[in-house]
Amino acid sequence: MDFYSEISPYYDKITRIGYMNYSKVYNDLKKLIKGKKILELGVGTGNLTKLLTKGGFDVTGIEVSKPMFKIAKKRLAGTKVKLFLKDIINFKKKENFDTIISHASIFVVIKSKEGLVIESYITNKRNIKRALENIYNSLKEEGIFIFDFYPEHNPSKRGFKFGKYKYWFEIKQNKGMWDFIKINHIQKGDKIIATSKIHKIRLSRKEFENISLRIGFKSMKTRFGKYIILEK
Ligand SMILES: C[S@@+](CC[C@H](N)C(=O)[O-])C[C@H]1O[C@@H](n2cnc3c(N)ncnc32)[C@H](O)[C@@H]1O
């Protein structure tokens, strides 16, 4: 599942060209987070994690990609963050966290032409259910799971420039519009120097909500038009 291995050295450069505004995300999240004990899923290179720990939260983070994990480990050295190289599909900590966060990660909401859909790195429904069960079981009673909206992918070969490099991506349908591959490229001059292929699937918001409610979550709500909250 190491779809970020080639791209990881460029990840922070890409996010800095306007892809992510971590301080803004942190300020939003502060208004939504319950309690102090947080689990962050798919920490990536640890940018948001760093703001959460600096803000005084007791943070545990998991990340499935080894190269991303290594960068996060370096970034978070000397902090109190507990970091695990782990897939959420296999992660359980019984009733341990007040809030679980996934930012631009395991699940994102997309305002697509077909309406609101949930897009996931987890590419089959059985494992999506398993991940949601692990999230549910790791939350304390009345805990919450927060994940975010993401812009609809708009592939363009023009891409985004950063220094000598360019980042662009293409989307290839796999099994219809609900199952596709996002291929990220880093280019230097005319040469592609790194590529990552990420298989993703989409579920309608309704289907995702139904799975969550069947697991036991009380409700699924949208906040600030940018975040989804599942309440235990
Ligand atoms: C787009 S990055 C976002 C990283 C970070 N949250 C941020 O805001 O910069 C998505 C991350 O989720 C991780 N990821 C995807 N599926 C995962 C899973 N099942 N368990 C843990 N991490 C996962 C990927 O390896 C990747 O580092």
Tens-place pLDDT, residues 80-135: 999 999 999 999 888 899 999 999 999 999 998 888 999 999 999 999 999 999 99
How far apart CA 21 and CA 15 sit, in angstroms, is 8
Look at residue 2 in the predicted model and tell me its pLDDT.
67
Domain assignments of the chain as residue spans, ordered by start: 8-152+202-231, 156-196
Tens-place pLDDT, residues 124-175: 999 999 999 999 999 999 999 999 999 888 777 778 888 899 999 999 988 8
Per-residue pLDDT for 3 more than 80?
no
Q: Is the CB of 87 under 6 A from ligand 1?
A: yes
pTM, 2 dp: 0.96
Question: What DSSP string describes 100-166?
Answer: EEESSSSEEEEEETTEEEEEESS-SHHHHHHHHHHHHHHEEEEEEEEEEEEPPP---TT-EEETTEE
Question: CB–CB of 104/45 below 8 Å?
Answer: no
User: Which ligand 1 atom minimizes the distance to the CA of 47?
Assistant: 9
Name the residue type at position 173: Q
User: Which ligand 1 atom minimizes the distance to the CA of 62?
Assistant: 21
- Domain topology for 8-152+202-231: Rossmann fold (3.40.50)
The closest of 65, 76, 133, 140 to 105, measured between CA atoms, is 65
